[in-house]
Amino acid sequence: MRKKIVAGNWKMHGSPESVTSLCEGLVNGVNASAPECALIVFPPFVYLSQVQAALAGAQVHLGAQNVSQFDEGAYTGEISINMLKASGCEYVLIGHSERRHVFGETLETVVAKFKQAKQMGLTPILCVGETLEEREADKTSTVLAAQLQSVCEALPGDTTVFDGAVIAYEPVWAIGTGKSATPEQAQAVHAQIRQFLTEIGQINANSVSVLYGGSVKSDNAAQLFEQPDIDGALVGGASLDADQFMRIASCNKSS
Ligand code: PEP
């Protein structure tokens, strides 16, 4: 059975004080009514230890927004997988569109990071998605296929590349714009992702959790989660409000 997940990407937001109150809101929310799905939060690196302590004992998992593709060494400004694990992280976002488009992360870098996370025991959430120009040029499936294929090519012959990993379909035009994909648009792409994983020989394609991301709010989450191939959401802006994040999570039922 595929894991249901609602994950919150806090991006570069927060202060020690706002992080404390956000965590209090999450703990209170989980204690009042535990959601049926797994909850994950992705704070900025500097708040990981604070969040780990604040969420201790609560059913909320911790992840990082990015990671180095290197183990350790002279890589100024980078954070390794082992450092993330030591800070309590179980998950890491790989290839978020802001990393690809604002910071110029290439397919090669994204693939190296995915491989590193997988091999060193941190669950990668691979973010994929097309730009508006690519969608309008009818290139959505080609772009997504290239993003997924490149990861498989880095692990040749492995038919279980995505086992234990998570994929987040995040159309670039829907991130932070308030313009979510419709449930039908998102469902069509999620089904294509699964189909593509099968075609490239991933034997457990039907067991991979595929999340939707892009302007998910408490008022559109339920319709998205009703779709058969949408297993949850990666939420940006709305995850900074504990009540709204918990309302989104409450829509993601286990069956
Ligand atoms: C994101 O940052 O991954 C995201 C989906 O952002 P938002 O929900 O704000 O569109």
Full set of structural domains in the chain with CATH: 5-250 (3.20.20.70)
Q: In this predicted structure, what is the pLDDT of residue 254?
A: 82
Asked if 184 is an active-site residue, the reply is no
Q: Are 40 and 61 in contact (CB under 8 A)?
A: yes
Closest atom, ligand 1, to C-alpha of 239: 8
Pocket of ligand 1 (CB under 6 A): 9, 11, 170, 175-176, 213-216, 234-238
Ligand 1, atom 8: nearest CA belongs to which residue?
A: 236
What are the φ/ψ torsions at residue 81 (nearest 5 degrees)?
-60, -45
DSSP label of 205: G
Tokens 């989980």 correspond to 30
245 Cα: distance to centroid of ligand 1 (angstroms): 12
In this structure, what token pair is assigned to residue 77? 């400004």
pLDDT of residue 1: 81
Among 92, 17, 43, 98, CA closest to 240 = 43
**Residue 219 has which token pair?**
């008022």
Could you count the other beta carbons within 10 Å of the beta carbon of residue 112?
17
Q: Which one from 61, 134, 170, 190 is the annotated catalytic residue?
A: 170
* Candidate of 215, 240, 241 to mutate for ligand 1, largest count of ligand atoms within 8 Å of Cβ: 215
Q: For 81-96, how does the pLDDT look when each residue is reduced to its tens digit (9 = 90+)?
A: 999 999 999 999 999 9
From 121, 107, 124, select the one nearest 234 (Cα to Cα).
Answer: 124
In angstroms, what is the span from residue 17 Cα to ligand 1's centroid?
22
What's the average model confidence in pLDDT over 146-171? 94
Q: Angle at the Cα of 151 (from 90 to 105), degrees rounded to 5?
A: 80
Angle between helices 107-119 and 140-153 (to 10 degrees): 50
3-class secondary-structure state, position 224: helix
pLDDT tens per residue across span 27-40: 999 999 999 999 99
Cα gap 93→123, rounded to integer Å: 9
Nearest to 173 by CA among 245, 240, 101: 101
Greater pLDDT, 150 or 1: 150
User: 53 C-alpha vs ligand 1 centroid, how far in Å?
Assistant: 25
Model pTM? 0.96
Instruction: Provide mean pLDDT across the span 154-167.
Output: 93
**Does position 73 have pLDDT exceeding 90, yes or no?**
yes
- Residue among 190, 252, 37 nearest 181 (CA): 190
Q: How far apart are CA 5 and CA 211, in angstroms?
A: 7
- Is 170 marked active-site? yes
- CA 36–ligand 1 middle distance (angstroms): 22
Over residues 217-255, the pLDDT tens digits come to: 999 999 999 999 999 999 999 999 999 999 999 999 987
- What does the alpha-carbon distance between residue 201 and residue 184 come to, in Å, rounded to a whole number? 26
Express each pLDDT in 24-72 by its tens digit: 999 999 999 999 999 999 999 999 999 999 999 999 999 999 999 999 9
